[in-house]
Structure 1
Amino acid sequence: MSSIRLVRLRRILPASAALALFAAIDMTAALAQQAGELLPPVEVSPPQSRKQAKPAGRDAASTRRAATRRSVTAAVAPKPVALDLAPPTPLNSNAVAASASRLGLTVRQTPATVEVISAETIREQRYRTVSDVAQGAVGVTAGDNPAEPSAFSMRGFTNSQINTLYNGIKIGPQNMTSRIMDTANLEAVEILKGPASLMSGEGAAGGAINLVTKRPHTGPIRNEADFSWDSLNSLRAHFGSGGSTNVQGLDYRFDVSRSSLNGFAEDTNTRTLDLSGQLDYRVSDSLKVWGAIEYREDRSKAYWGAPLVPVAFSGSHATAGIVSGSYFNRTDLGAVTIDDRTFNTNYNVLDNRNVAQEVWLRGGFELKLAPDLTLKSQAYGYGAERSWFNNEIEAFDATNNQVYRERFYVAHSQRLVGNITDLVWDANVAGFDNRMVATLSSSYLDFVRPGAANFPNDFVSLVDPDRGFYGPLTTQQQTARIDNEALSFEDRLKLTRTFSLIGGLRVEHIGLDRNSTDPVGLVKAGFPFTKDWAPVTGRIGYTWEAVPGLTFFSQYATGADVSANNIFLLAPAQPLDLTTTRTYETGVKHVLWDNRAEWSFSAYDIVRRNVYAAAGGQTLNIAGRQESKGVEVAGSIRPIGPLRLWGNIAYVDARYADYDFAGGSFSGNAPPNVPRVVANAGASWRFFTPWPVEVGITGRHVGDRYNTDANTVTMNAYTIGDLYAFVDIPKAVFNAVDLARLTFRVRNFTDKRYAIWGDPFYPDQILLGAPRTYEISAAFKW
């Protein structure tokens, strides 16, 4: 592995110095967050009359300070992100999502649609990768397209319009930096819907997905291990341990996981390794310091999809129900299908590879400056080496009835350093409880991108192709250096015990320096160039708990991202403006029946202006405006002890407007990979026998989608389901083990063939979903 070097800290020292000065001058402004660390809940005093405002304020402040003092130890102790301030609920709305608000609010207290998928849910549903987790959420689809692993779609937006965060930190556009990631080392996955630039900055037009690694807890050491095998001969293994050490105040967490996931197409496989660890040290009741390290790698031999083929050519091998429509790109294919002889065919070259190696270093502190004032800060360093060495284009050519192939190579060498510091102030404003968080963040990113300057090509037969090898390679180089500084404020004012106003504002500076050279090292025309942006984004909303457990919310939020949708690849001739996104959202969240039932509803209207969209051949079109309107409903209930029912459904109407170009218009068309309807449902029954057994079924429906902006080829709707059963083995069987569980699962039990994703940059081919597979797993805790 190439050594992973961190950019020298001298580049962020000016920002850190400014941060310290800012805190010294005005302690009510602030600085940024130690990712995932939570604060005590805001104490609420009853509203008082105007005449009593002053003493009430003092009394409320005194009460709040007393409560804060009582919880100082808890505040500085390590806490998981999904901290329950109240008993768990069926939809997990008592969990705190740090990526949705820095105020320490639960999901139900946040004026936005937020989902927190806990490690327990991940374990029960046997979600193996981050993409699996996302597809269990409301209205989210995913596709592990090897060009853009862990690509997501929600609320009408896809790929880099959705920020992917790691412990609250963004490392770059999703379609450049995300990788296939196993879930074993994760504590939770947080999903924030709609424009989220207030929380994660540029790029969050459609929302943000935050991946949170497991963290230390205070208490006895707990260990866990799990193993699985499936009928494709895939293997997964994980071991984790955490708790308090013999050193007073020192807690630890360590996890290691390894997986080898085989694909259904021939000679396809993804191998992952993830090692993560963190130490928390409570120096005193008011100070905690911590440090974390993580190493990840993934290596795969990739599947790039099945080519679209003319129905007239496939004849009796043409399939129905996977794709429909007509297609023209290299040649006119007319009505298209997926040929059933290509279901398991791999058209990639024999020496293909996708490789990534990543290292995280994070550390920080949390300090109680006063009973009502907390300072938190973390510094981080990240390094990554990635490479793609594949045949990526598989286009059926109607002139010779063969598959045209074209090679592509690209590599990344990425370095990122930064600091996030928060100052959290609890105060009383005219007798009303108020919490404000001021955040100052700064980062420096260096990105080197060697890539192909030539693209070897050939033709192979549709059936049993001679895969061959990559062939000659000529490279050229691109670089990008990005400075980012942001100052944000977030505030919650409790006007009554049940009604709160919540808002925030973020001012961000992005500085880009780009260069590009040809194969002999000469600088290309128009390079180097620099560009600066200064987006201002925010959110304003309310929550109202009309009756206990029933909360109404609304919000207006804005977002911004670079119009070409990939800041690393901007060319001098492309307009370098920012898009602007705004959303109106309203909804309700309801927990009832003594926490045995919960449901939520949200409706939204999102408009994104100055949009660029992907077109075939790695080009971009000006798409003008994108509009998205929809509703989402989720519910879960346990009507009787053994029975659990859950489900969710999302409807979205996403359309382009003002999308005109020479020779035509796509106005009115839907963006790629955006289904109108997505629904999930499940049911389980638990038999309370000496060896408890649970059986369950889950189902998923995804509506029609298109693979390009032209909307001429439809990836047809599909419905799939899983069956599972597990048995909990009593402790008496394994004396040293507190919990042992054996699980058997059948994935896609109807063996449905379906299209799961289409890459608009590679419109000639479609990624197919996996067929029926069988899996057995074992998990132990002690």
Structure 2
Amino acid sequence: MRKISFVGVLPVAALTVFQPAFAQTEDVRKAAAKAKEEHITAHGRAQPLKDSAVIGGRLGLTVQHNPATINVIQRSVMEQRGYAHAEDAADSAPGVSSGGSPGSPAQMMMRGFSGNQVLILRDGIYYGPTTMVNRPLNSFNLESVQVLKGPSSVLYGQGAVGGTVDMRTRDPAFDGPHANALVSYGSFNTWNAGVGSSVPITDTLAIRSDFSRTSSDGYVAGADPHSNDFTTTLLWHPSKKFTARFGVDYLTDRLSTYYGTPLVPLAQVHDGVGGLLSSSKGLGVSRSSLWRYYNAKDAKAGSVNVTPTLHLTWQPTENMTFHNKTYVLYAKRNWNNAESYSYIGSAGQTDAAGNAIAPGRVGRDRFYVYMNQHQVGDTLDGQFDFHVFGMKNRLVVGGDAYYVRLIRNRGFPDATYADSVSLSSPESTAVGSFAGEYPYTKSPTTMVDAGIFMEDVLTVRDDLRVVGGFRYDWLKLDRQNYSQTGAFNPATSFKGNYNPANFRIGPVYDLTDNISLYGVYTTAEDPPGSNIFLVNKGQFSRLSQSRQGEIGAKGSFWKGRLSSTLSLYDIRRTRVLVATGVDSVATAGVQKSRGLEWQGDLTLGKHWSLSGNVAYTWSRYGSFHPSASVNASGNEVPNVPAVTANLWGVWSRVADLPVDLGAGMRYVSARKGDYANTLSLKDYALVNLFAAWHAYRGVTVYGRVDNVGNKHFIQWADTSYPSEVMLGAPRSFSISVQAGF
């Protein structure tokens, strides 16, 4: 459920861009402590341009002087807008939209790319292909959600072409004990709760722990998602030269098991819902199927994830700093569902038991996956400040390596349809057991990567900087497949060695102290698509290649009351694979994307503020045949809207009372829902309202209404499930109490 509400009165310290605590100076900490008692009107902006964002690289550049499009959504903004999950926050950045199904949850689209072409990090660490490992993360445990647009091979060793999203957890503070709490209740029996505290144990040792839980019956009754996230961080800062940070994240969840609503032929089913989609094949959504749950009653989609990390920072001199991070991941994930729902329009179809399926019913499959993932990795880098021919220069050099072992067991019935249910009143039946499911097929995959990298910024003049970077990797992949009899399958198994080399280069020129122009050229080289843990022998021999050209401007005006960013980009990706089913891929050849993104934030006096963004995206395939019967060459990429726009407004301290009022709008233009472009998803606009009462010092009560007009819309069309679409959430209400001391 997407929530778009508004920021009210926020602490100044909350608008400071998050940096790891080990990177903060004592002066910064003192300033933050002093500022926390002050209040200003916040207006949902991504961040001040003079602050830096860790997602932009290791050089410590400010957003203004980084030749890339960067947005940071702070914790305070997430709290006030009611973003329960990290992807809700990412949606507020220009040109970002999220969706996906329980099979590939919490997916994001940006710059025309989605799935594994948008890299998801946790505290700067890569844990595997997005469609395989990403989970809806509770925002209560996060300090910020940071978004970097465009290819990121140079920075993170993976070539996510559309962009990168980093979920940054909270750090302890040394200025005294702090506590936070949240409780929220809303429509569909939705609960969000969290409690956290930060305690300085000594002058040099502090600890922070946060626990959060989200649960709901789901806006499609029966989906029943919930998650529990516990994070704790121990920070040791014995001197100005050395810091150690140890953190543990323990997440358990049960995803929503709503896989979609079936498409039906409107010539046979005459109660089609208007305003949702158009189809050249005459398909639509039946009104009797709205908010119906077609999965099995004991469907499963859950995980357990444990990720301990250790960061060490040593600064032997003012001009030299070393940083090392070591991490381990253990994850256990499982799915066991009826995932694909096909309307049966004529007689002749049978289920797995041999029973005839009556026309007008919905045929269902079964599919289960059980996986275990183990990963260990380390990154070491050094930062050096020196002069080159009298010009200031900062150089970062380093290397990293990781080992991933993923064992994936899966199975499904031999029959096309395991069983069937009613379209209007689907029966609540068990997942069951069917011929062909057991024993399962097994696919252990091992990936080892080692890389060296460098980043550099040369200050040619006070108003001109040149930023560059380079990375070279040694990637080894061992993909094995075993049949249901346990026999090794050499026809689909393979081993590969790959050596991607990528760079970025771009100047940043200051028109004034507060206005900068930039340009950048970036390359990326990565596993060619879909999911590197799913591809089989013969599906690729070389990595996919990408390049992006981007120009832009960033500036603040009117004594800082107005800030704005503008970027234009052009991306081309070749040797592409795309997922065409839950266990299949096809060669797309080329994908092209170009567009522009604008963000603006305006403060009017003490009580009024406006913030908004708009993005235009043009994205097309080159030569692409997703199946023998479909030629999608030149077609639009599914789920990519040409235009997305967000607008926020807030009136704080109404009539000098402790009350805030806010409203917002999100617009998403029409998108294609399939590779053949026969299915078009209609555009939609959602309006949201909120009111806040600052009841006591540090305690605020919020009331929200999301999707005020109760707009029916399609949020996502998963191309792996072409017979169904994912409906968005209807109108909902919530009330919450937030406290911070």
Q: What is the TM-score when the length of structure 1 is the normalising length?
A: 0.86
Q: Which residue of 2 aligns with 1:256?
A: 211
Counterpart-to-counterpart distance in 1, 2:474 and 2:19:
24
1:772 aligns with 731
Amino acid at match of 1:575: F
- Report Cα offsets for 1:549-584 as digits up to 9, x if no partner: 111111000112212431101211212321111000
Q: Where does residue 340 of structure 1 map in the other structure?
A: 287
Q: Is the 8 A contact 2:311 2:326 kept in 1?
A: yes
* Secondary structure of the corresponding residue to residue 132 of structure 1: helix
Alignment of 1:269-288 (within 5 A): 269-288=224-243
User: Among residues 625, 629, 641, which one is paired with 1:675 in the alignment?
Assistant: 641
Is the counterpart of residue 398 in structure 1 residue 345 in structure 2? yes
CA-based RMSD: 2.2
Distance 2:656 2:614 in 1: 37
1:741-763 deviations in Å (ceiling 9; x for gaps):
00000010000000000111111
Output the CA distance in 1 between the equivalents of 2:172 and 2:420. 54
Alignment of 1:2-401 (within 5 A): 37=20, 90-92=45-47, 93-245=49-201, 247-315=202-270, 317-326=271-280, 334-399=281-346, 400-401=359-360
Q: Residues 769, 454 of structure 1: CA spacing in aligned structure 2 closer, same or farther, 3 A cutoff? A: same
Instruction: State the match for 2:423 in structure 1.
Output: 462
Are residues 193 and 72 of structure 1, via their aligned partners in 2, closer, same or farther at CA, if it must alter by over 3 Å? closer
2:594 corresponds to which of 629, 638, 654: 629
* Separation (CA, whole Å) in 2 of partners of 1:543 and 1:654: 27
Deviations 1:85-134 (A, max 9, x none): xx999441333221221111122221000101110111111111122112
Partner Cα distance (2:21, 2:471) in 1: 21
Where do residues 409-558 of structure 1 align in structure 2 (5 Å cutoff)?
A: 409-454=368-413, 457-472=418-433, 473-474=437-438, 475-526=440-491, 528-558=493-523
Instruction: Tell me by how many angstroms 1:495 deviates.
Output: 1.0
Q: Deviations over 1:694-732 (max 9, x none)?
A: 11111011011112211100111111111001011233x
Partner of 1:573: 538
User: What is the distance in 2 between the residues matched to 1:753 and 1:664?
Assistant: 30
Could you tell me how far 1:294 is from its partner in structure 2? 1.2
Equivalent-residue separation in structure 2 for 1:79 and 1:623 (angstroms): 50
Q: Secondary structure at the match of 2:56?
A: coil
Give 1:709's match in structure 2, choosing from 650, 675, 688: 675
Q: Distance in 1 between matches of 2:630 and 2:220?
A: 38
Counterpart CA distance in 2 for 1:311 and 1:109 is 54
Alpha-carbon distance in structure 2 between the residues aligned to 1:38 and 1:510: 33
Q: Distance in 2 between matches of 1:308 and 1:77?
A: 59
Give the whole-Å Cα distance in 2 for the aligned partners of 1:517 and 1:533: 24
In structure 2, what is the equivalent of residue 330 of structure 1? Answer: none
Letter of the structure 1 residue corresponding to residue 670 of structure 2: D
Aligned mates of 1:199, 1:454 — CA distance in 2: 43
Aligned equivalents of 2:656 and 2:736: distance in 1?
21
Aligned mates of 2:530, 2:463 — CA distance in 1? 40
Name the CA distance, whole Å, in 2 between partners of 1:687 and 1:369.
Answer: 48
Say whether residues 1:654 and 2:619 are aligned partners. Answer: yes
CA distance in 2, matches of 1:79, 1:346: 49
- Kept in 1, the 8 Å contact 2:302–2:335? The answer is yes
**Displacement, 1:261?**
2.6
CA distance in 2, matches of 1:641, 1:451: 58
> Match of 1:184, SS?
helix
- Unpaired runs of 5+ residues, structure 1, are 1-34, 41-70, 327-333, 732-738
Task: Work out which of the residue numbers 693, 701, 705 in structure 2 matches 1:727.
Answer: 693
CA distance in 2, matches of 1:403, 1:293: 44
1:522 Cα offset (Å): 0.9
Contact 1:630 1:653 in 2 (8 A): yes
Alignment-derived partner of residue 12 in structure 2 = none
Deviates more, 1:467-476 or 1:767-776: 467-476
Q: What are the residue-to-residue correspondences of 1:547-626 with 2, within 5 Å?
A: 547-616=512-581, 618-626=583-591
Counterpart-to-counterpart distance in 2, 1:580 and 1:78: 45
Cα distance in structure 1, aligned partners of 2:395 and 2:184: 46
Q: Say which SS state the counterpart of residue 236 (structure 1) adopts.
A: strand
Give the Å deviation of 1:442. Answer: 0.6
Deviates more, 1:552-561 or 1:94-103: 94-103
Are the aligned partners of 1:139 and 1:155 in contact in 2 as well (CA < 8 Å)? yes
User: Is the Cα–Cα contact under 8 Å of residues 551 and 568 in structure 2 kept in the other structure?
Assistant: yes
1:176 counterpart SS class: helix
Deviation at 1:39, TM superposition (A): 9.0
User: Post-superposition shift, 1:140?
Assistant: 0.5
User: Retained in 2: the 8 A contact 1:91–1:599?
Assistant: no
Check the 8 A contact 1:407/1:455 in 2, yes or no.
Answer: no
Supply the AA of the counterpart residue of 1:693: V
SS in 1 for 2:526: strand
In the other structure, the counterpart of 1:45 is none
Distance 1:764 1:664 in 2: 16
Contact 1:38/1:104, CA 8 A, preserved across alignment: no
1:243, distance to aligned residue in structure 2 (A): 4.1
Partners of 2:178 and 2:234 in 1: CA distance: 15
Structure 2: runs of 5+ lacking an equivalent: 1-17, 347-358
The residue type equivalent to 1:136 in the other structure is S
Find the aligned partners of 2:680 and 2:663 in 1 and give their Cα distance. 28
| Matched residue, 2:653 | 687
Per the alignment, do residues 708 and 630 of structure 1 end up closer, same or farther by CA in structure 2, a change over 3 Å counting? Answer: same
Equivalent position SS for 1:344: coil
Deviation at 1:690, TM superposition (A): 6.1
Change (3 A) 1:150 1:758: same
Shift of 1:319: 0.9
Q: Distance in 2 between matches of 1:590 and 1:78?
A: 24
Aligned-residue offset at 1:181? 1.6
- Three-state SS of the structure 1 residue aligned to 2:50 is coil
Distance 1:357 1:607 in 2: 37
User: What residue identity is the alignment partner of 1:293?
Assistant: V
Q: After superposition, what is the alpha-carbon deviation per residue over 1:63-98, rounded to whole angstroms, capped at 9, x for unaligned?
A: xxxxxxxx9756999999xx9xxx999441333221
Instruction: Measure how far apart 1:624 and its partner are.
Output: 1.1
Task: Answer whether contact 1:625 1:656 (CA < 8 A) is retained.
Answer: yes
1:559/1:359 CA distance change after superposition, 3 Å: same
**2:368–2:411 contact (8 Å) kept in structure 1:** yes
Question: How many residue pairs were aligned?
Answer: 697
